[in-house]
Chain A
Amino acid sequence: MASRTLSLDSVIAGYGYGDVLKGVDLEVERGSVTCIVGPNGAGKSTVLRAISGLLRPRQGTIRFEGADVCGVAPAEILARGIAQVPQSNGIFPNLSVRENVLIGAYILRRDRNLVQRRFGTVAELFPIVGERGGEKAGNLSGGQRRTVEFARSLMLDPSLVMLDEPSVGLDPKALRVIAQAIEQMSSAGKTLLIIEQNVRFGLRMSTHGVVMESGRVLMHDRADTVLNNPEMADLFFGGTVTAAPRRATTPA
């Protein structure tokens, strides 16, 4: 179905001393902002690694825009239109802001015109790229750096952007900055898949929410429904959420 950009079906994956993902079913709608939340060890980051090709699932399928991408190499995943912004330290502090963004198009560097055009589009979307382009990225604040990383991820014009814990280490002011940046990416037509430790922040800016626990998806619904579920608190304190409907009831 065309509206499903990304789908995982019964994915089982692990690192050698046991499986982290124990049968994950997940569908991400085109154009949505989907946020995966869950306690530590639930397997959230592992889902990203499986999609981006860093970890090969033992079982199950991963499909992106109709094609099977299970176990495909990371460089190929990048080429197919899935970009990832890692959790920490993606920035090159000794390079300028402009260079930090440009380097996102490294694999396209031979086509100068294309790179310039893309850079123009990205700079329009994120003013900071133009305003502080010449400064060393190391001089920017945490939220600004994160925004630059988002900008970089768009240089390859991906259709799916995956963000790994974008809020980590940021103060409330910075959170507002990157929430806006995420908003802008969504309005530019990108599908976003976000892993978040900060449940409220993550779900408040998303259209859909996914709750994971112990390697499985427990809940997948509209973001506000997930957030207001009274059992969420229990989940984080050792209880468990009773399994709720898997699919989103209505698209946002």
Chain B
Amino acid sequence: MRLAAAARGAIPAELGELASPQWIGRALLVIGGAIVLTYPLISDDLFYQNLIILSLLFAIGAVGLNVIMGWGGYISLGQSSFIGLGAYTVGILATRLGGSPFVWLPAAGLVAAMFALVLGAVATRLRGHSFVIATIAALFLLQIVATNWRGFTHGTTGITLPIPQWDVAYQNWPFYYSLLGLLVLALLVSWRIRKTKFGTGLVAIREDEDKAATVGIDTPVYKSLGFALSAVFLGMAGGVYGYYLTFLDPNGMFDIVLSVQIVLAVILGGRGTIWGPVLGAFLIEGINELANQQLGGGNSRLLIFGGLLALSILLLPKGIIPSIEDLWKRRRTEGAAALVGARLNGAPAHAGDGGASPAPRTGSPLLEVRGLQKRFGGVHAVDGLSFAVEEGSITALIGPNGSGKTTAFNLIGGTMSADGGEVWLDGRRIDRLPPWRRAYLGLGRTFQITRLFGQMTVLENVVSPLRSFSVAQLNAGAMSGPEANRAEELLEFVGMREFRDQRAAELSFGQQKLVEFAQVLMLDPKLIMLDEPGGGINPTLVARIAEMIRDLNRRGTTFLIVEHNLPLVLTLCDPVLVLASGRCISSGTPGKIQKDPLVLDAYLGEDFKLEEPVGAH
């Protein structure tokens, strides 16, 4: 039965593949690229040259926006700010200091990037909709400043750029080819970003920003950087565009509809793809010309683009290219055995060269918690919590529901900030540090309900953590190279190597747990905090995970484990810390804890006496 299905899949695949979106897309790309590259050389038609020039402008804008929006998940309706900034920079410098406007293009890019960095630093502190509002506000503010600051920008009278000096025979070639060059540059940078850990970090931020922070991703810097990259080429393109129009004025240069068109280009073409924004840009410009030529521009143009924006959100939120890919994938995987459903290998992970004896315990505390406090409303979730975790140990943290275990983890890990108290890791105070700094210092943490970056592959998930903040780490290849190799080794260790190209969202709960574990190991942490590693999975898998923990511990990693599965705790961990009502009430070996009356009280409930026994009426 399986053989027949495989046979059915094999033969037409050869021919069928040629008809796949991949190959058709590549063919279209080559043809389209050839046309765009040679058009001005072949034809004198200024109308179509103009069409392509504007398309290139949109494309540069869209490719840039895709970095912060498609990958980072932050939508900006203010991208035309950068067009205007670039145009005005070039215009002002060229008219005041002389020289060809082309010479001043790098300055345009610089100004745009710097504005983006500043705006990003302010606006990305907040999430989702606040960021969009801020970008819109920035655009309008720039327009007002350009209108009012007459001395600098001539206000609504505008700036007129010098007429081009080159031979008329060359027509618009300099504009055309400089924009084309900028687009190629933007695409190259974009492509490079996606292949590096910077790119996977951006997608991680989009998928789960708080989780990304815990694996070493410095989210504010990533977001600002992404935003600045979205701006730099668009700024330069804006400079070319301004020169092309020869006339700059605030309304034309800081036009909100242009921003909408750029966003539409990304949405329609497909967010998060390399070529989607380019396709979308050419489409949008086509519609733009249609509205201008056939429908009289003005209100019709607004109607079309407003309607398109609303409709695309309602009906086709994914975009054209991803929708086609999805459709094709669905057709091809019918009948093929899905890798995901396969049973995990029951044998324990390969132990490597670890010895049989447990790791040497130094007796000194690796983690120290002193007097932690955290209130939610009127409830003290954590109330003067103090404990220490010995280096080299596998320490358990147990306690009844509501005792504050998960809150403690959140406070130590940095996803919540404490109302009082201190946390020390390896002799350094960490409670004021953001989560990624704690990761750099050697703290790793998993979550009770696994948090992975669903739209990325298993390998990308394990590659994305950052061990330290450096250009080298950011620029490191995500799919190949030393980082990727290390990730594959870790996947091998947890037994998930065959799943490396599977989308994380498609894994089962147990499989996700293993991947999350590998993710944390990527950080090479000194202390790993595991939140219910044995929860929700079958006993074989629990045993396997326990074996991995022991193995890593032998090689020097300290563990702090929250668990409800007490048999697991009792065989794996020593010492055991008991939490109740937000405090640590007891600690000791498993045997001692089991017999401690304080602990019994905690689990069974305070010795509570009613005035009258129930049922006495």
Direct contact between the two chains A and B in their complex (CB within 8 A)? yes
Contact with A along B361-390 (1 / 0, CB 8 A): 000000000000000001100000000000
Nearest Cβ on chain A to B344's Cβ, whole angstroms: 14
Stretch at the interface among A58-66, A104-112, A151-159, A232-240: A232-240
Assess the A33–B614 pair: CB atoms within 8 A.
yes
Query: Smallest Cβ distance from A232 to chain B, in angstroms?
Result: 7
Residue of A nearest to B400 (CB): A197
Contact B402 A168 (CB under 8 A): yes
Q: Does A223 contact B (CB under 8 A)?
A: yes
A252 cross-chain contacts in B, Cβ below 8 A? 614-615
Q: Which residues of B contact A187 (CB under 8 A)?
A: 617
Chain B contacts for A236, CB-based, 8 A: 566, 603-604
Q: Is B331 an interface residue (CB 8 A)?
A: no
Q: Using a CB-CB cutoff of 8 Å, which residues 584-614 of chain B contact chain A?
A: 594, 600, 603-610, 613-614
**Could you tell me the dominant secondary structure of chain B's interface residues?**
loop
Encode B490-533 as 1/0 by CB contact (under 8 A) with A.
00000000000000000011000000000000000000000000
Q: With A186-B614, A237-B594 as known contacts, state yes or no: A39 contacts B564, CB within 8 Å.
A: yes
Q: In the complex, what residue of chain B is closest to A139 when comparing beta carbons?
A: B378
Q: Which residues of A contact B613 (CB under 8 A)?
A: 204, 224
- Count residues on chain B whose CB falls below 8 Å from chain A CBs: 27
A17 to B615, CA, bound (A): 41
**Distance in Å from the Cβ of A201 to the closest Cβ of chain B?**
5
Residues in B whose Cβ lies below 8 Å from that of A165: 401
B606 touches A205 (CB 8 A): no
Please give, as numbers and ranges, the residues of chain A lying within 8 Å of B570 by CB-CB distance: 238
Asked if A41 contacts B564 (CB within 8 A), the reply is yes
Q: Does A142 have its Cβ within 8 Å of any Cβ on chain B?
A: yes
With an 8 A cutoff between CB atoms, is A40 at the interface? Answer: yes
Report how far A104 CA is from B355 CA in the complex, Å. 64
User: Are the C-beta atoms of A205 and B564 separated by less than 8 Å?
Assistant: no
Of A39, A168, A169, A198, the contact of B606 (CB 8 Å cutoff): A198
Contact status A206-B614, CB under 8 Å: yes
Whether A183 contacts B614 by the Cβ 8 Å rule is: yes
Instruction: Give which listed residue, B509, B536, B600, B610, contacts A205 with CB less than 8 A.
Output: B610
B614 A200 Cβ-Cβ under 8 A: no
Assess the B614–A199 pair: CB atoms within 8 A.
Answer: no
Task: From the candidates A141, A198, A205, name the one contacting B614 in the complex (CB within 8 A).
Answer: A205
The reply to whether B564 and A200 form a contact with Cβ atoms under 8 Å apart is no
Q: Taking the complex as formed, is A207 at the interface, i.e. its CB lies under 8 A from any CB of chain B?
A: yes
Q: Which residues of A contact B604 (CB under 8 A)?
A: 198-200, 232-233, 236
Q: Quick check: B567 and A238 within 8 Å, CB to CB?
A: yes
Q: Which residue of chain A has its CB nearest to the CB of B563?
A: A40
Which residues in window 219-239 of A have CB below 8 A to B? 223-224, 232-233, 236-238
Picked from B378, B566, B610, the residue with its CB within 8 Å of the CB of A237 is B566
Q: Let me know if B378 and A141 touch, CB within 8 A.
A: yes
Cα distance A183–B594 in the bound complex, in angstroms: 34
Q: How many residue pairs between the two chains, A and B, have CB atoms under 8 Å in the bound complex?
A: 77
Give A138 Cβ to nearest chain B Cβ, in Å: 8
Contact A238 B566 (CB under 8 A): yes
- Contact (Cβ within 8 A) B614 A223: yes
Contact A200 B605 (CB under 8 A): yes
Query: Which one of B509, B567, B607 lies within 8 Å of A200 (CB-CB)?
Result: B607
Quick check: A40 and B617 within 8 Å, CB to CB? no
Q: Which of A183, A186, A205, A238 has the most CB of B within 10 A?
A: A238
Query: In the complex, which of the residues B509, B606, B608, B617 has the most CB atoms of chain A within 10 Å of its own CB atom?
Result: B608
Pair A142/B401 contact, Cβ less than 8 Å? no
Q: Are B600 and A199 in contact (CB under 8 A)?
A: no
A40→B605 contact, CB < 8 A: no
Most central of B564, B605, B606, B614 by chain A CB within 10 Å: B614
A161 → chain B closest CB, angstroms: 15
Partner of A169, one of B379, B603, B615: B379
How would residues 158 to 196 of chain A score, 1 for a CB under 8 Å from any chain B CB and 0 otherwise?
000000010111001001000100010011000000001
Residues of B within 8 A of A167 (CB): 605
Taking the closest CB of chain B, its distance from the CB of A180, in whole angstroms, is: 9
CA distance A236 to B535 in the complex (A): 16
Nearest CB of chain B from residue A98's CB, rounded to whole Å: 21
CB-CB nearest in chain A for B607: A200
Asked if A202 is at the interface (CB within 8 A of a chain B CB), the reply is yes
Cβ distance A198 to chain B, nearest Cβ, rounded Å = 3
B614 touching A201, Cβ below 8 Å? no
Q: How far is the CA of A169 from the CA of B509 in the complex (A)?
A: 30
- Among A17, A197, A237, chain B packs the most CB atoms within 10 A around the CB of A237
**Which residue on A lies nearest to B568, using beta carbons?**
A238
CB-nearest residue of chain A to B401:
A197
Complex-state Cα separation, A178 to B379, whole angstroms? 16
Residue of A nearest to B378 (CB): A142
| Bound CA span A236–B599, Å | 11
User: What is the CA–CA distance of A201 and B401 in the complex, to the nearest angstrom?
Assistant: 14
How long is the Cα–Cα vector from A224 to B616 in the complex, in angstroms? 13
Using a CB-CB cutoff of 8 Å, which residues 27-45 of chain A contact chain B?
33, 39-41
Q: How far is the CB of A164 from chain B (nearest CB, A)?
A: 12
CB-based contact B606/A17 at 8 Å: no
Residues 396-417 of B, flagged 1 when their CB comes within 8 A of A and 0 if not, give 0000111000000000000000
Q: Name the interface residues of A114-158: CB closer than 8 Å to any CB of B.
A: 141-142
Residue of A nearest to B402 (CB): A168
Residues of A66-100 at the interface with B, using a CB-CB cut-off of 8 Å, are none
A-side contacts of B607, CB under 8 Å: 200
Write the nearest CB–CB distance from A89 to chain B, whole angstroms: 9
Distance of B564 from chain A, by nearest CB (Å): 4
Contacts of B379 in A (CB 8 A): 142, 169
Given A167-B605, A205-B614: 12 more A-B contacts, CB < 8 Å: A17-B508, A18-B536, A142-B378, A168-B401, A198-B604, A200-B605, A201-B608, A202-B605, A204-B608, A204-B613, A205-B610, A233-B604
26 intermolecular pairs with C-beta atoms under 8 Å apart:
A33-B614, A33-B615, A142-B378, A168-B401, A169-B379, A169-B402, A172-B606, A172-B608, A175-B608, A179-B608, A186-B614, A197-B605, A198-B605, A199-B603, A200-B604, A200-B607, A204-B608, A204-B610, A204-B613, A205-B610, A206-B614, A207-B615, A224-B613, A236-B603, A237-B566, A237-B603
